[in-house]
Amino acid sequence: MKKIALILLLSITMSWLSSCDEKDAPSVVFTALIPDEDMSSQRPGSMIKDITMSQGINSFNLSARWKDGDVIQLFVRQGGKIYQVENLATVFDISADGKKCSFNFTMPSLVNESLEYEIIGVTGIDAHIEGQNVVVNSSMKRIPLENGNTMPSPMWFIINKTNLTTGNRQVQFKHLGTYEVLSVNNNSTSSITFKHCGFFSYTFPWYLIDGSIVIGSKAGTASNDTEQTDVQSDDITIAPGAVGAILSWYIPIGRHITLARLHAIIDGQEMTSIDMMRYSKNIESGKAYYMQATWDGSALYFSNDFCPDGNHPHAIDLGLPSGTKWACCNVGANDPTRRGGYYAWGEISQKDRYEQGNYKWWDNGDYTKITKYCRNGDFGVVDGRMELEPEDDVAFVNLGTGWRMPSRQQVEELINNCSSSWMLSNGIPGRVFRSNINNELIFMPAGGYFNGEYVRDYESTGLFWSRSFPTSAPYLAHGLAFSGGSVGWAKLNNLGRHNGCNVRAVYVGQE
């Protein structure tokens, strides 16, 4: 029997080692790499071992290191058969930074080392042989991450003997799961207890990775799309003003997750959010997904996941009586939290300066000489127009048929059928409108308005043009206005039509 030693190394430093019982054993050096990468919200999906997370309001850093007691289960595949290495290999020689270690193992006696074979290593999760495959249990883990809690990160690797010549060899661990980080900011004055729950549906019972490792759906008995397994985390309690987080790991067998939700006890009241992840997510192995919740004293809001995918704009169905749908993001924005463009009312392009003198529909900047959209002779040529025509509607011009700037009625319908709350979404202040009818959400950032050469009231006020304007004072236009404390239909009284405001389109279908 021969003992083969593997050295796991994070850096590119070449290391060596082979300790052998028999003199004729090949001398082989393994250098196993785990990419030296934090798993952050910007760069998800690194390959890591034991995870710890440092928390911040809007940032997360996951890092990993080997620690005493970590073990690696090894298998050898040869001639269509798989042999399990008897004992778990325990890591040793862990480096000071925790990212480097070594381990030994004994080759199964049935393996002929003069022929081709593969070494399969699995760590962070139980593995065994079923048929011709290495199988790992797909049970899910959800733990609070605080005070240095760690969670093992399942990884695996395969070494092909055909590449296994004497000398330095490189082994790369591959990631075996998906991470989900839920962070809750407690902005209230009482403590919050919560746990993370979710239904996981399995579309098929087995999942092959690289044709070599099979993950069995042992955690749930579900074997088709309609059956689901409910998984819950431990409770975590967050003090007032503090941030708490739960890290979840699972294998995306069915490749999607539905009804992820937060169960919370706040001020003694139990509540369950069902819209933490409102869309069935296509999830990829080896990636991290982040959700952030804010408790504002009366309701829980989740800052992510306003859209089913990245193909904006989406027409969000809030279940409104008129059938009107609202765009997920502003005209000119590529994300619900972005401000997008600022437009003077009835203009379809942006400018460096927004002032009376360069406003399109006033003669020589004179607001009493309106050249289009006027129903009051004191302010210009009466043309009887009640609202912006499509050619002057920046939503229609930018987004095409079916999209318009909202009418007064459509803005009022939104306000009357939604409850809204001030919140931060990815650090951007704004208001989230939650439908009282179907709980769908849209987020509107507080982009302020453009006057002269400056954006004003940025991050404190949201001002969105409608396509309507008042009869008596046609130099103004209507819109939706909100701040931290209020929301409503507004004449935008202090804003003449020449100021630049954001525009949130509505979708009314093909007319």
Contacts with Zn ion, residue ranges (CB under 5 A): 307, 312, 314, 328
Residue 73 or 435 having the CB closest to Zn ion: 435
**Closest distance of CB 305 from Zn ion, Å:** 10
**Closest distance of CB 399 from Zn ion, Å:** 12
Contact indicator for 179, 277 with CB cutoff of 8 Å: no
Residue 50 or 335 having the CB closest to Zn ion: 335
- Give the helix/strand (H/E) hosting 411: helix 408-417
Preceding amide of 44 cis, omega within 30? no
**Closest distance of CB 152 from Zn ion, Å:** 36
Residue 103 or 464 having the CB closest to Zn ion: 464
| Degrees, nearest 5: CA angle 395-401-407 | 50
Residue 326 or 469 having the CB closest to Zn ion: 326
Residue 6 or 395 having the CB closest to Zn ion: 395
**Closest distance of CB 254 from Zn ion, Å:** 24
**Closest distance of CB 427 from Zn ion, Å:** 18
**Closest distance of CB 506 from Zn ion, Å:** 14
**Closest distance of CB 337 from Zn ion, Å:** 11
Contact indicator for 78, 115 with CB cutoff of 8 Å: yes
**Which residue pairs from 375-380 have beta carbons closer than 8 angstroms and sit at least 24 positions apart in sequence?**
375/471, 375/474, 376/471, 376/472, 376/473, 376/474, 379/473, 379/474, 379/475, 380/474
Which residue reads 């969105």 in tokens? 464
- Give the helix/strand (H/E) hosting 441: strand 441-445
Secondary structure of 264-324 in HEC code, one letter for each residue: EEECCEEEEEEEEECCCEECCCCCEEEEEEEECCCCEEECCCCCCCCCCCCEECCCCCCCC
Query: In whole angstroms, what is the distance from residue 169 CA to residue 189 CA?
Result: 56
Which residue reads 């407690």 in tokens? 186
**Closest distance of CB 315 from Zn ion, Å:** 9
Residue 469 or 507 having the CB closest to Zn ion: 507
Query: In whole angstroms, what is the distance from residue 458 CA to residue 39 CA?
Result: 32
Q: The tokens of 186 are what?
A: 């407690």
Residue 307 or 503 having the CB closest to Zn ion: 307
Contact indicator for 121, 88 with CB cutoff of 8 Å: no
**Closest distance of CB 328 from Zn ion, Å:** 3
Residue 2 or 312 having the CB closest to Zn ion: 312
Quickly list DSSP for 153-181: --EEEEEEGGG--SEEEEEE-EE--EEEE
Query: In whole angstroms, what is the distance from residue 38 CA to residue 61 CA?
Result: 6
Written as one letter, the residue type at 188 is: S
For residue 354, list its beta bridge partners. 452
Query: In whole angstroms, what is the distance from residue 406 CA to residue 504 CA?
Result: 8
Residue 181 or 327 having the CB closest to Zn ion: 327
